[in-house]
Structure 1
Amino acid sequence: MFMNYIVSKVRAHQRYRQTALELSRYSDHQLEDVGISRAEIDAIARRQFSH
């Protein structure tokens, strides 16, 4: 049970990092097109995988 919890947290962190990396590769214009600013990338990535 404890290992499942740890594994799920590690996977969630990996998904967070991947999301943040992908969004950070967008140009400012692309980010503007999807309605987010560069300053919001970390918060958006964390919000998606903080559960």
Structure 2
Amino acid sequence: MVSADQLEKLQWQYKSLEAATSIAELDVAEANVVAPISGFISARYVKKEI
């Protein structure tokens, strides 16, 4: 048995988590990096900072 107050709090927490999940999914969907042309990387040059 859960009181009405506890049930309402749990429902709001659930809705909040759903919203946070939706935002995280959107962030992941927008984080994809797509090359403007097809091909492959033949060499990469990296400069290490000391």
Calculate the TM-score normalised by the size of structure 1. 0.52
Identity among equivalent positions (%) equals 3
> When the two structures are aligned, how many residues end up with a matched partner?
29
Task: State which structure, 1 or 2, has the greater radius of gyration over its C-alpha atoms.
Answer: 2
Q: Which runs of 5+ in 2 are unaligned?
A: 1-5, 35-50
**Structure with bigger RCO (C-alpha 8 Å, 6+ apart):** 1
Q: Which runs of 5+ in 1 are unaligned?
A: 30-51
Calculate the TM-score normalised by the size of structure 2. 0.53
